[in-house]
Amino acid sequence: MTRLFRPFRHLYVQVLTAVALGLLVGTLWPSFGASLKPLGDAFVKLIKMAVAPVIFCTVAGGIARMRDMKAFGRLGLRTLLYFEVVSTFALVLGLLVGRLVQPGAGFNVDPRTLDPSIGAGYAEKAAHGAGLVDHLLGLIPDAFFGAFARGDLLQVLVIAILTGFACARLGEFGDKAAEALDGMGRVFFGIIGVVVKLAPIGAFGAMAFTIGKYGPAALVKLGALVATFYATSLLFVILVLGAIAAVAGFSIFKFIRYIREELLIVLGTSSSESVLPQLMLKLQRLGAGKATVGLVVPTGYSFNLDGTNIYMTLATLFLAQATNTPLTLGQELTLLGVAMLTSKGASGVTGAGFITLAATLAVIPDLPIAALALLVGVDRFMSECRALTNLMGNGVATLVLARWEGDLDRAQLQRELDRGPGPAGAPVLATVEED
């Protein structure tokens, strides 16, 4: 009997079982399943509670110990360059697949029959988005602790960078401050180690809510779009990210196996932020430098959203095909250019991709904003795929940039990938602390 239940000691098995039970409950008892939403929300909030302090301690402590500040500036430029190139690949792939597969063909939907208030609501949220100057000014917090209170990761990152630079200039006192930051970081990582054990409960509640509220019928109705999006994202991971990983010297399949626990938690919660601290820990355990992980991962959560990029171009073409709105080559190129900008404003939180899509649609006047109503029922299912792809993209980006900077222990990377992730979250903490 003990041997029978032994696999359930692994967190990924617990989460996978919870997701399956959530699917079952949501299908059989939709009303009860929809009422379980607070379980998923509570887990995500518990994780996000510690995200900002984790980023601050990791980045500030890592920079404080650096002796070459020019190397950090070079890392920042290379990070933004990598993000822009790979994001463009994702956008183009979504556009090409949308043109070839045409998942919206045959729907023949009259936009006048759709509820205009749904699309208008998301369009209004998108219209309130700031311009470039306002966005840059928004990186600067009004108060030091205000960024932590709001959970604004980019503002926390700015504060952490400034703190790290200040510590690096303070000599011996700065070294003591760095040690204090490392100690604080261990405390918050310890909190994450406790909270992550609740992941099966969170995944169960979130999945039961998704199926209970939207139901399998929504998937059947728009199954072509959902299947095309998942297939395109899988194609991107295997071909694009796989090729990048191979050039960097590691297997994308071994990496996916290594972060399987995080992928399953994201599958259940539809939010890549729910595993941000755990991902940072595992990347450090894979041999990436602390400062590199601290800069690339949180920055990638706003600037390297590969899954969101695929979704925006593919979903836009789907809506155009479903409403019989032909797009010219010029409009598609305009869509591509605008999406390269609007995608940078999305985050790893559920629903942000839908608002970003509304902002992108605004550049194509011929395509009615009311068409967004077609996607409301299945957006939650596609949100899971967006979050999964975003997570894998940021993980690969961190390892690639760490190697580019000479901040990756390649022997440790191969050793860890071959060994696998271990049983659960706690050993990850122990291994990083020992290093």
pLDDT at residue 432, rounded to an integer: 42
Q: Helix or strand or coil: residue 314?
A: helix
Handedness of CA 21, 22, 27, 31 (dihedral sign): positive
- Among 308, 301, 282, 283, which residue's Cα sits nearest to residue 384? 308
3-state helix, strand, coil split of the chain in percent (to 5) is 80, 0, 20
CATH class name, domain 2-434: mainly alpha
Note whether 71 and 78 are within 8 A (CB): no
Rounded to 5 degrees, what angle do the CA atoms 432, 67, 147 make? 65
Neighbours of 128 (CB within 10 A): 9
- What count of other Cβ atoms lies within 10 Å of the Cβ of residue 3? 6
Other CB atoms within 10 A of residue 186 CB: 14
| Range list of H helices, 196-305 | 199-221, 223-235, 242-248, 252-258, 260-269, 276-285, 290-303
Q: Is 212 helix (H, G, I), strand (E, B) or coil?
A: helix
What's the CA gap between 266 and 199, in Å, rounded? 10
- Contact in structure between 364 and 353 (CB atoms under 8 Å): no
pLDDT of 379 reads: 77
The structure tokens listed for 309 are 């990029």
pLDDT of residue 428: 43
Q: How far apart are CA 228 and CA 336, in angstroms?
A: 19
Residues 6 or more apart whose CB falls under 8 angstroms from that of 313 comprise 91, 92, 94, 95, 98, 335, 336, 339
What pLDDT score was predicted for residue 399?
Answer: 96
**CA 180, 184, 189: angle at the middle one, nearest 5?**
145
| Other C-beta atoms lying within 10 Å of the C-beta of residue 253 | 13
Structure tokens, 66: 């650096």
pLDDT at residue 431 in the model: 40
The confidence score (pLDDT) of residue 257 equals: 93
DSSP code string of 153-185: HHHHHHHHHHHHHHHHTSHHHHHHHHHHHHHHH
Q: What is the mean pLDDT of each run of 10 residues along the chain (435 residues)?
A: 56 82 88 88 84 85 75 85 92 92 78 56 51 67 83 83 86 86 86 84 86 72 86 95 95 94 86 84 92 86 85 88 83 78 54 66 73 74 87 95 92 92 48 39
Can you give the pLDDT at residue 6?
57
Cα–Cα distance measured from residue 148 to residue 38, given in angstroms and rounded to the nearest whole number: 23
Determine the Cα–Cα distance for residues 155 and 140; give it in Å rounded to an integer. Answer: 6
pTM: 0.79
